[in-house]
Every structure is written in C-alpha cells, then in structure tokens.
Amino acid sequence: MGFLAPIFLAGLAAVAVPIVLHLFRREIAPPVPFTAVRFLQKRTIERQERRKIQDPWLLLLRIAALALLALAFARPYLRVESKTQPPVVLAVDVSYSMGAPGRLEAARQAATQALADLSGDTPVGLVSFADRATVLAEPTTDHGAVRVQLAGLQAGPGATRYAGPLEAARGLFDGRPGRVVLVTDLQARGWARGTTSLPDNVRLDVLGVGARVDNVLVRDLVVTREQARVVISNAGQVPARGSVSLVREGGAPATQAFALDAGVSRDVVFPGLHAGGAYVARIADTVGFPADDERHAVLRDQAATTVQVIVGDDVERSRALFVERAFGALGTEPGSSYAVRIVSGTAALARESLRSADLVFWVSATGVDRRAVVALEQFVRDGGRVVVACGPALDARVVDVVTRPFGITLAGGDAPVSSPGGLVAQDPRHPLLAGLGEARQDLARTTISQACDMTVSGTASTIARFRNGRAALAEARVGNGHLLVFASDLGRQWNNLPVQAAFVPLVGELARYMLGDGAGARVALANVEDPRYQRPGVWPVGPRGQAAAVNVDVSESDQSVITTDEFQQAIARPPADEARVARVQATRLEHDQGWWRYGIALLGVTLVVESLIARRTPATEVVS
C-alpha cells in the first residue's frame, strides 16, 4: 500500500487525545443531605486505586474516527502491476501542403494501418496539426471512434509546425511511457520556428507520405489606388501557363494570362483607379496545393496612417520635430501619407488616445508619473505598435517600466553609456534593414555620443548593435502587438542620426515594418486567435478590429524535405523523470481506486454510532 500525501499520517498521533481523556475522567458523586457532622473527629483516609478506561466502546469509536480521518487525507492506494498497454498517439499533418492530390488520403491510409496493427486493448489518441495542434481524441480503446475521426480529416490553410503535435502528445502521456506515430510529408520548414523535446520513454515513429508536385501559387497581392500587383510563382519543375483573376468584393473580375518557366516568379499588374474594399487574386492550379491558389488584400478608405508622438510636456514638443518632418517627407498621396500628431502629458497615455493611433512614438516623459506609463505596456499587449527612443528626455528607469516585461531591460544608472559608436546591423537580412539598401552604410557612419545601456533577453531580439557590441535597436512581439526600442534619442542630442541621409528611409522602413501593409491591413494566419477567422479572407482582426487580410503562409509551398533520421535528430531526447512518472502512476491508481471515499463514508458511520452510544451513557463530569 502507498499514500499520495503521507504527511497526513502524522494525524494518527491525535488518537492519543481520547485515550488520555478517558483515562483521566472520573465520576463525582452528587451531594447527599446528611445530619450535622461538625462534632465528628476529622481523619484522613488514604485510598489508592488504578485508573480504568471508562466506556471502552466510545473510546474505540473515537480512535477509529480520528484514524479514518488521517488515513483519508493521506489518500491511500494499493500498488498493483499495470496490465494496460502503453498509449499510442497518432499525429496527422493537415497543413495546406497535404492538400496536394492524393497526399492526405495517403496519410489517412498510413495512420489507419498503424491503428490496425495495434491490439484492441491499446489506448489510442489522435492529434491533427498544422501551425496549431488539435487533440481530436484522447487515448481510448474505442478504435472505431478514432477511425471515424481519421476519416473526417481535411487539409486546412495552416503551415507545417512539428513542435505542436509532439508537445500535445507529451501532454497526453503525462510522463507515462508511450509511442507517437507522426504522419507527414516531411517538409523541412516544419522546424523553422524551433524544435522540441520528447522524453526517452516515448517512442517516435515518423511515416513520410507524398511526392513532389508541380505547384503554381499566388505569392503576394498588393493593392493601391493606382494599381494592383499580383506576384505569381512557379514552384514546379516544368513551365506553367494559366490566367490570374482579380476581383473586388461585389465587382466583376479582371483577368490576365501568364506564362512562367520552372522556378520563376512574375508580377502581373492590374492598372486603374481601385476603390477601397476587399480584393482577392486567384489562379486555377489542379496539380499543386489548392490553398495557395488565392491571395487576399484590403484597401482601406482612409486619408492617412495616424502616427502619435508622445512627449512629457508641451515644452518638449521639439523632441518630436525630426520624427514629424521625416513622416512629412514620406508621402502625400491618400493611403500612403501619414498624419502626425504630437500629444503631451498623462492624457496622451489614456487608453482612448492610444487606441486612436496606428503607430506610437514615445520620445519624452518629462513630468509624467511613472505609474501612468504602464498603460503603454498594456497597449502593446492589446495589439498596439510602439517605438521607444531612450534619451535625455526619456530616462532609462522610466522606459524600463514598460519594456522589461517584454525582455528588454534598460539599466537605471545615473550616467548613460558614452561613445558607443555607430550602428551595425545584427543581421542585414532583417526586414527593417534589408529595405534600406546602401543607406545602411550611413547608419554605420552615424556619430553617437551617448546611449542607454540595454539588455535583450527572452523572446525579444536585437536588430542592430553599436560598435562597442551593446544592443542599439531591439524588438519584442506579443500576439499582434509590436514593441521597438532604440537605445539613443531621435532629437539630435545624443547623436546626429536625424540629419543623416538614411534617417527618412529608416523611419519609412520602420513604419512599414511595424505596421505591415496599410497600418495592419495584413495579419498572419498563425496570429489569428479567433477560431471564426482562422482561414484566408478579409476579417475584422486588425488593430482596433479593422478589416485585415488573412492569408496562408506561402513558405509552406517550399517542398524541401528532410529524412526521417534528420527528423529524429532534430528532437532533444532527455531522460524520463522517473520520480515524476512514479507520482503520475500513483495518482492514477489512487484516483481509480478511491479508497479515501470509503474512508470518509466509514467515518460518517462511526460518528453516527458514537453519538448514539454517547447518548445512552450516564452523564458524567470530566475532571482533568
């Protein structure tokens, strides 16, 4: 026998209490009227007697009640050898690459055969996965129900992510030994967002299905008022011909033909004045992946993108001068221009003020209560975009209140770092820096006299560094929210960046990178949390609930594959936590046996019997 909570067995010591009380209990004879005794001679009578337990049945019942209470809280169970088979989890890939002709059917057949090879008493679970993993059936011996779930699987619009199903299976095993049978087309990009681990008491079998197909896809769709640009790619190995249509919601389609050699992309342009609304570009491809045959975009009827620059006090408005002028130089046409407003004081941090902006710059906090700036942290968590420039008007200790929860820490020393050097790209291929082209060289020549000491950790990442190696530009994402921190100012006090030729292009690329196409008019399918909108289309999922285009991740069209051995090697296999496995097994045994319930029931019966016997016992006075 074992106990889940053996510490409660210490409560058995309480059985000594009724024993002591019964041993020291004595009866006091009631006073009896008698004649006068004052003339009788006083004499001491010595009497010695052994203490005896009174009412032994009551004592036994009370001891039993206390013992049953302690044992019930200790959660007893009987150790028995488990006769059940280790569970098996079938994980089936339903990403959009599985939509190729015959590929998902091959996956169903492979999973069904793996199920048929198992004995009838083996618990079997089912997990489907793309960029999310969904547990369709927890481990059960009802194999027929699992077959029904398998037959209903359909390829969706998600991209392949291998970590999700393995983590889901690990949760279903909960430390127990088991086996995972993963059926997939073995796309190499399934590990693009990191790997995972499985304990060494879990066996993993990977079944590869599907062969390479010739796929033609709509890679991108960008709609402005002057033109719509559709990017068509031939990811196959033979030339392809076809036509692409562009349709505005409620309008007639416009169609153009295209011809592409293998491995070539081409822009198809639809000129004309396009009205605001939802657009979709489609091609007909019968041999490739159906999910990437269309692309959605939205053109918003708005005059400009709203940029809000926060300063601490009206006297600090000059801190926003260079940012304001840079946005003024970026564009004047409707849909591509920026409306910059400079706001000051605590009112600028109010929720209503922040939510009315597409992009927020924070350059000064003079005179603002540190408790008020916490609103910026919540704004980012709610999907807002914030750029922070640490400088003489924005103390690092104040900035740290907002940035630290996202993994970007700014030291609160009295003096900033002196002469950190120019800006050096951490990765020139980063989307923010790649668009600058030759202008990146101007950033390296920037003279920076002072900067805040910034440390990047956790999920945050460094975009650029100073020449002394310290982080200069860092970012963090939370859902749709995006935070970018520059460790120096944008007001030409700690550096000469605002007068460099690269400053205006940098601000423009920064805005495009933070906002995407049209101030959040694009949302990645993997970032959509609402199940109603987890499919391609134009849905109200953008910042502040505006319509945004949700599309498939076209990286899924990359048909590079890995071998099953390479798949296995990508997974860390730490040793199983034997102590945890034993605890899990004990918890399951105790839960199934439920001896504590019988103990509580018997305790209730004992108390009832004890109360009945106590009522029938002559009343006595207990003197300790």
- The tens digit of pLDDT for each residue in 12-57 reads 787 787 777 777 665 555 676 666 666 666 666 555 555 566 677 7
Q: Which two tokens stand for residue 263?
A: 């491995």
* pLDDT at residue 50, rounded to an integer: 54
Tell me the average pLDDT across 118-122.
92
d(CA 559, CA 99): 13
pLDDT, tens digit, for every residue of 400-430? 889 999 999 987 655 677 778 788 888 777 8
C-beta separation of 431 from 437 below 8 A: no
The larger pLDDT score, comparing residue 337 to residue 357, is at: 357
Tell me the average pLDDT across 352-374.
86
d(CA 419, CA 66): 74
Write out the DSSP string of 131-168.
SSEEEEEEEES-HHHHHHHHHT----SPPP-SHHHHHH
Question: How many other C-beta atoms are found inside a 10 Å radius of the C-beta of residue 229?
Answer: 17
C-beta separation of 376 from 349 below 8 A: yes
The average confidence (pLDDT) of the chain is: 85
* pLDDT at residue 536, rounded to an integer: 95
DSSP helix/strand/coil, 214: coil
Question: CATH 3.40.50.880 in the chain, residues?
Answer: 305-515
DSSP code of residue 198: -
pLDDT, tens digit, for every residue of 82-106? 567 899 999 999 999 999 999 999 9
212 to 129, 357, 376, 539, 560: CA distances (angstroms)? 20, 46, 48, 33, 9
d(CA 311, CA 342): 7
Tell me the average pLDDT across 508-526.
75
Beta strand extents in 170-304 (DSSP E only) = 178-184, 202-208, 216-223, 227-234, 240-248, 254-260, 265-271, 277-283, 294-299
Q: Which helix (H) or strand (E) holds 522?
A: strand 522-524
Question: CATH 3.40.50.410 in the chain, residues?
Answer: 88-212+561-582
C-beta separation of 526 from 534 below 8 A: no
pLDDT, tens digit, for every residue of 188-240? 989 987 789 999 889 999 999 988 999 999 999 988 888 899 999 999 899 99
Residue 161 confidence class, pLDDT cut points 50, 70, 90: very high
* pLDDT at residue 87, rounded to an integer: 93
Please tell me the CATH code under which domain 216-300+522-557 is placed.
2.60.40
d(CA 541, CA 369): 33
Query: Angle at the Cα of 459 (from 453 to 526), degrees rounded to 5?
Result: 145
Tell me the average pLDDT across 389-404.
89
C-beta separation of 424 from 446 below 8 A: no
Tell me the average pLDDT across 133-162.
94
Write out the DSSP string of 41-85.
PP-----------S-HHHHHHHHHHHHHHHHHHT-EE------SP
Which one of 46-60, 295-309, 583-597 scores highest in mean pLDDT?
295-309
* pLDDT at residue 26, rounded to an integer: 58
Whether the full predicted model's pTM is greater than 0.75, yes or no, is no
**Arch. (CATH architecture) of 305-515:** 3-Layer(aba) Sandwich (3.40)
Ramachandran assignment for 421, one of left (phi > 0), alpha (psi -120 to 50 degrees), beta (any other): left
d(CA 394, CA 167): 42
pLDDT, tens digit, for every residue of 534-550? 999 999 886 567 788 99
* pLDDT at residue 621, rounded to an integer: 46
Q: Is the pLDDT of residue 561 over 50?
A: yes
Q: How many CA atoms lie within 13 A of 151 on its CB side?
A: 6
Tell me the average pLDDT across 310-319.
87
For residue 595, how far is the Cα from the chain centroid? Answer: 39
C-beta separation of 339 from 306 below 8 A: yes
For residue 93, list its beta bridge partners.
129
* pLDDT at residue 335, rounded to an integer: 46
391 to 126, 311, 376, 494: CA distances (angstroms)? 54, 12, 18, 7
Q: Which two tokens stand for residue 293?
A: 């045959």
* pLDDT at residue 383, rounded to an integer: 85
Residue 577 confidence class, pLDDT cut points 50, 70, 90: low
Those residues whose C-beta lies under 8 Å from the C-beta of residue 571, and which sit 6 or more positions away, are 166, 195, 196, 197, 198, 204
Hey, what CATH class is 88-212+561-582 in? alpha beta
Strand order in the sheet with 548-551: 522-524, 548-551, 537-539
Residue 568 confidence class, pLDDT cut points 50, 70, 90: very high
Tell me the average pLDDT across 576-588.
68
Tell me the average pLDDT across 56-75.
81
pLDDT, tens digit, for every residue of 263-295? 999 999 999 888 888 999 999 988 899 999 999
Which is it for strands 548-551 and 305-311: parallel, antiparallel or unpaired? unpaired
